[in-house]
Amino acid sequence: MERVGRWLGRSQELYNLLQFKMGGGAAVMPPLDQDALSDGLKTCYWYLNQTSRSFAAVIQALDGELRHAVCILYLVLRALDTVEDDMTISLETKVPMLHDFHSYLYQPDWRYMESKEKYKQVLEDFPTISLEFRNLAKVYQDVTADICHKMGAGMAEFLQKKVDSLQEWDKYCHYVVGLVGIGLSRLFSVLELEDPIIGQDTELANSMGVFIEKTIIIRDYLEDQLAGREFWPREVWSRYAKKLSDLAKPENIDVAVQCMNELIINALHHIPDVLTYLSRLKTQSVFNFCAIPQVMAIATLVACYNNKQVFRGVVKIRKGQAVTLMMDATNIQAVKSIMYQYVEEIYWKIPSKDPSSNKTQQIIVSIQTICLPNGTVVSRNHYSPIYLSCAVLLAALSWQYLSAMSEDVQANEN
């Protein structure tokens, strides 16, 4: 437990700085008091840092007990996702595990020791996670178990079939991430951190997760191919190649990029829902938690758009760019400005011969109209000296953390 304690102490400054508000000074989050945490909860925060990367900071910037509940929710779903991703587990074993996984939350001794996946520790030490789950208030337990149950069933369904249509692509993304958005939204409303509409409007909450998942699926084409996984919808890629794997062949690079561009345009259609959802939030820590992954996603899509490197290797976003996004996305007008400027970048990248060029222009105009109806872009680059100093300090403190995070929020280095 010693290394866990040291890590919690080092991370506190970073998470406090992430709460900094332009013009409002430093809004310091409730501290991670190590003495007040059980050994099991300390271990869970250690696993969170090791497995979540891009979301560890925003989760720990949440307030009080909600922070612990979301940490446990993330680890439970990370364990479930680890089962799904492990290609060494036979379908005969995996499918029942996915269906039954929610029941393991109430079995103190259940663990799985045969995984070969990178994050196998969350399965091997699942008793620690499930114990902290059972220590949560009932409202948190109910939401977590419900999401886990539905997600496991959805994952099992798509293990036994391919993603053929765009409708099935939406359904798969709903199961693996959209349900998380719905469940978290229920928590925000039940705890009265947000208005009831946040938990009731499941369509918007679903889009928050689906936008992120589609971005990850698009970005991770090559990684998934090498692992034997396929998540791009046949309805789209079959117009460009006989097999999805053919898109990785050098001679097919032009049509591969066109196929990817078409999927990116599909993902962009979720942005209006994302902006409507974010515009309804009133609690600052909840807004930050929800907004940061969305601006990371649009930055990733922009870097992937028309980029051949997606089919050749790993692509990453600049660490400074990630820090800037995390610092900027603290209110709805700033997020709209970020979205406006990033889709503008796509607009200027549209190839004249791209089959989706007209649709691309249409959705970009639609998004920009929603972001800035009067057509005036609000600059995000004029900050006070103290704000700039804070940003520089944040960059220094978080350099090592963001090195790991950038692997999970991959986009173009250039």
Please confirm, yes or no, whether 45 is among the known catalytic residues. Answer: no
119, 240, 289, 311: the active-site residue: 289
6, 134, 229, 312: the active-site residue: 229
Residue type, 351: P
- Cα 218 to Cα 222: distance, rounded to the nearest angstrom: 9
Residue type, 235: E
H/E element, 204? helix 202-219
Give residues with Cβ within 8 angstroms of 92, minimum separation 6: none
CB 242 within 8 A of CB 252: no
Neighbouring-strand partners of residue 26: 20
Residue type, 127: P
Please confirm, yes or no, whether 229 is among the known catalytic residues. Answer: yes
End-to-end CA distance of the chain: 40
Q: How many CA atoms lie within 13 A of 104 on its CB side?
A: 25
55, 119, 172, 211: the active-site residue: 172
CB 82 within 8 A of CB 117: yes
45, 219, 240, 277: the active-site residue: 219
H/E element, 158? helix 138-159
Nearest CA among 280, 283, 282, 323 for reference residue 409:
323
What's the token pair of residue 211?
């936008």
Cβ-based burial of 33 (10 A; exposed 0-12, middle 13-18, buried ≥19)? exposed
CB 68 within 8 A of CB 32: no
Nearest CA among 212, 142, 149 for reference residue 177:
212
Structure-token match 């790993």, residue found: 314
Which residues are identified as catalytic? 172, 219, 229, 289
